[in-house]
Structure 1
Amino acid sequence: MPNIAIIGSGPAGCFLAEILALKLSDVQIDIYERLSHPFGLAVSGVAPDHLHTRKVTEQFERTLARDNVKLIVNTEVGSTISYSELKQHYDRVVFATGASEDRRLGIPGEHLTGVYGSGCFTRWYNSHPEHKDVQPLIGQRVGIIGNGNVALDIARVLAKTAQEHQASALSEPVRTHLAKSNISEIHIFGRRGPADASFSLPELTELGTLAQAEVQVSSDALIGIEAQNLPPSQKKMLQQLQQYAETPADASAAIQIQFHFYATPVAAIGTTQLEALEIRDSRLDNLDSSSLESLPLDSLQLDTLITAIGYYTPAIAGVPYDAERGRFAHNQGKIEPGVYCLGWCQRGPQGVIPTNRSEAMNLARQLIRELESQDVD
């Protein structure tokens, strides 16, 4: 009987296991998970108030219940079991380990108390076993660096009232911690312009529905954007930003959510704890200047800073690795003969859960062809 090892029980790994288990009745699939529970980012990465997205785990539960699928938890490749052992014991090995480590900004002050990576922060509020004791410092003025849906998720979770959080998967300790915060300002910084943002329309629109928050966008940032050649999704996103820019200010709102575009972070300021963020207008970077240090800087007081600028895949001993890209080294998903990668550890931290399904289908077809022909490279 052919056997396949899938390393990682997140969406990519579970989708692949489901397809293979359905198509190859005589195959044994072992899924290795380093934690004590499965499903990866389907639980620890999805926003706790987006319960409909988490329902995909119900499908994964059925996958794990199949006779030819076995989940092996508390097992880390590279320590509990080696890469060479996997290759010896399995006909095919597929890495679906995701991208769990926060990328660094590379600016002074990142070490200050009050500065967190979005991976660490989201895993804290999702009660990930390795981050549930983080207890982040959440002050009145919060900054989030990033122009993607992760930044919007964090802003939304922070801006919601305790009543709004009733319909979420937050644990009681996290609810208590959030309830003690006294946030009045949330600033979302993007190093590029609005047209380059990767917000999806539903998440961006959802910010405007919060009970105690007002969304602000400077109309100056939207001037001169050539939208006619942009995809329809980007046009709709820009229209929503324009709507926020045109909405009259609401002085009664308890929390102001302010978007800052063309804002390049230069330094986090403080002695031991964050006090401010220095930013530079990125539109000035291309001007004729002898040195970037001579360009004017703005400083914004902040108590908390969360960087949502992407993630990288940790290296595993023996597995070919692309350090520059922060993912496994591969050629169209193939790491070595009989060894593949799938999901974020293959393409980087891009795409949503359905993206993993389509890519798992493509890889499954390839594995099925190989196993059926016994073409072991």
Structure 2
Amino acid sequence: MAFAITQNCCNDASCLSVCPVNCIHPTPDEPDFGKTDLLYIDPRTCIDCGACADACPVDAITRVSRLSPSQQVYAELNADYYKDRPVDHAWGAPVFPPADIGKVALRRVAVVGTGPAACYTATALLRQTDATVTFFDRLPTAGGLARYGVAPDHTSTRRIGEHFRSLFVHSRVTMRMGVEVGVDITPEQLSAEFDAVVYAVGADRDRALPLGDEAVPVSARLLVGWYTGHPDVAADAIDLSGVERVVVIGNGNVALDAARILTADVDDLVGTDISPHALAALRNSSVSEVTVLGRRGPEFAAFTRSECQALVSRRSVPVVVDGPDDIVSALGSLPMSASASPLATVPVASVPAASETARRIVFSFGRTPVAIRHDGGVRGLDVRDADGTRTIAADLVLQATGYRGSPLPGLPFDEDRGTVRNVDGRVIGEDGDPLAGAYVVGWAKRGASGGIGDNKADAERTVDLLLADALADSSTTASTTRRSVFRRSARK
């Protein structure tokens, strides 16, 4: 009986290296890697050894015979991935560090940030070199997105934090918490103190959302920080008093998190890492309906299939679909692997009709937000579709349309992309040349896309560049006092 990978998959590929028959795909050297919601186990090749389940940092791998009724679909999904896809289970050529890696003159590396991208970077550095790593974070507690970006009811996914915890007490690691780079210390000062600096500063702004009204939606990012207890978000930042209907603009995983938490049975959140003030507010909440709004059809949904499946499988809160007839009918033609395919089995309902149940979640497709209606408070959201403009009643409008980075003082910034200016992870200066010893990983490198595990391959690629630069410098530097691309003669 084979194993199956389920909803919690973080895509960091820890399971791949322990599989004795190479039956987990896509692998990092395959085109699909980073583009699928999950990794998948080939049931025809799996030998039922369980090594992958032991290695998984988020408990996402389960024996098929032990899948709960709501998880049975993952046995089908794992098998479906291989149905029309030829996969070579032969091992590729092994990859080794450069033979002269021991010659790298790398003593001290700074990593700015303590989220997943930062942690994967430090892990790769500690594994391949003898360098010490110093983490810098403006917050008092480490974890970044793994701590303050993962919903509290995703308890298995949040275990990735435990996976990184041993890193923070490693003998070659120093933690400098409560230190804000760009304020308390400059990038220039870091470059003078360390052989290399890797920036893993994430993305902390919302993407622009033009609306034809002065009223603005509340950022879903604020809601996430509110229920995860982010130190920058006040306990009263979200006011749910009098809120019965909520519209979330955007249909990525953050939008689904918001919908799920706002309609959750509060008793199910007790014992999770949810902030006490959010738990108290939700206990007294009267939210009865959350509409998740998407401009395009279900085939373009930004959420993952596993997150959608989890909402559909949650029997306590009905899920319905709304939108123009031609768009809703498209659900039936989606392949099983499509993000919105679980919605093909749910009822179609009209919005803004009064909710007929205590609570429900509405997926509304093919509607573009135009303006927030307000009269001393939010009254609704005007949306436009092929039939014209209509109003969805709402007491609260949330924006979950994606994130972008903020400029860090002293560091080149690409305003168009919302990232640190870089080429493949090397930070690029105003003159177009790489900044010596400066690198970037994660969302600050590639934009706010991909989940926790996607940062692992990304970080390892940047570390490979860093080591290649260091090795090239070591081989061309005649003496330790000579100025070079990687090390600075100004350092004493």
TM normalised by structure 1 equals: 0.88
Shift of 1:315: 0.3
CA offsets, 1:43-66, max 9 Å, x none? Answer: 110011001111111121111111
Pick aligned residue for 1:8 from 113, 121, 125: 113
Pick aligned residue for 1:340 from 410, 435, 439: 439
Does residue 383 of structure 2 align to residue 279 of structure 1?
yes
Equivalence for 1:328 = 420
Identify which of structures 1 and 2 has the higher relative contact order when contacts are C-alpha pairs closer than 8 Å and 6+ apart: 1
> What is the rounded CA distance, in whole Å, between the counterparts of 1:167 and 1:363 in structure 2?
38
Does residue 112 of structure 2 align to residue 20 of structure 1?
no
Does residue 244 of structure 2 align to residue 140 of structure 1?
yes
Does residue 405 of structure 2 align to residue 303 of structure 1?
no
Please list, as runs of the form range in 1=range in 2, the aligned pairs for 1:167-246 lying within 5 A after superposition.
Answer: 167-218=271-322, 220=325, 221-224=327-330, 233-234=337-338, 237-245=339-347
Deviates more, 1:348-357 or 1:270-279: 270-279
CA offsets, 1:197-231, max 9 Å, x none? Answer: 02212211111233542100138223357957x7x
Equivalence for 1:48 = 152
> What is the rounded CA distance, in whole Å, between the counterparts of 1:191 and 1:316 in structure 2?
32
Shift of 1:252: 6.4
CA 1:301–1:53 in 2, change beyond 3 Å: closer, same or farther? same
Shift of 1:111: 4.1
Pick aligned residue for 2:458 from 351, 359, 367: 359
> What is the rounded CA distance, in whole Å, between the counterparts of 1:224 and 1:170 in structure 2?
37
* Contact persistence 2:312–2:343 (CA under 8 A): no
SS in 2 for 1:51: coil
SS in 2 for 1:350: coil
Equivalence for 1:317 = 409
Shift of 1:86: 1.3
Deviates more, 1:353-362 or 1:207-216: 207-216
> What is the rounded CA distance, in whole Å, between the counterparts of 2:409 and 2:384 in structure 1?
40
Shift of 1:133: 2.5
Deviates more, 1:344-353 or 1:166-175: 166-175
Deviates more, 1:49-58 or 1:219-228: 219-228
Q: Which amino acid aligns with 2:329?
A: I
Q: Which amino acid aligns with 2:294?
A: G
* Contact persistence 2:222–2:237 (CA under 8 A): no
Q: Which amino acid aligns with 1:317?
A: P
Equivalence for 1:287 = none
Does residue 258 of structure 2 align to residue 166 of structure 1?
no
CA 1:64–1:99 in 2, change beyond 3 Å: closer, same or farther? same
Q: How many pairs are equivalent?
A: 357
Does residue 223 of structure 2 align to residue 131 of structure 1?
no
* Contact persistence 1:212–1:254 (CA under 8 A): no
Equivalence for 2:97 = none
Q: Which amino acid aligns with 1:300?
A: I
Cα RMSD (Å) of the superposition? 2.3
SS in 1 for 2:135: strand
> What is the rounded CA distance, in whole Å, between the counterparts of 2:390 and 2:273 in structure 1?
38
CA 1:110–1:117 in 2, change beyond 3 Å: closer, same or farther? farther
* Contact persistence 1:277–1:300 (CA under 8 A): yes
* Contact persistence 2:331–2:340 (CA under 8 A): no
Shift of 1:127: 0.6
Shift of 1:266: 0.6
Deviates more, 1:363-372 or 1:171-180: 363-372
* Contact persistence 2:134–2:176 (CA under 8 A): yes
Shift of 1:273: 1.8
CA 1:350–1:170 in 2, change beyond 3 Å: closer, same or farther? same
Equivalence for 2:185 = 81
Larger radius of gyration: 2
CA offsets, 1:230-259, max 9 Å, x none? Answer: 7x632xx34311111479xxx863112111
Q: Mind listing any 5+ residue stretches in structure 2 that lack a counterpart?
A: 1-105, 350-354, 428-434, 475-483, 486-492
Equivalence for 2:198 = 94
Q: Which amino acid aligns with 1:136?
A: I
* Contact persistence 2:110–2:134 (CA under 8 A): yes
* Contact persistence 2:263–2:289 (CA under 8 A): no
Shift of 1:110: 5.8
- Shift >6 Å, 4+ stretches: none
Q: Mind listing any 5+ residue stretches in structure 1 that lack a counterpart?
A: 285-295
Equivalence for 2:133 = 29
Which of the pair is proportionally richer in helix? Answer: 1
CA offsets, 1:314-339, max 9 Å, x none? Answer: 10112111111111111111112321
Q: Percent identity among equivalent residues?
A: 31
Pick aligned residue for 1:70 from 174, 182, 195: 174
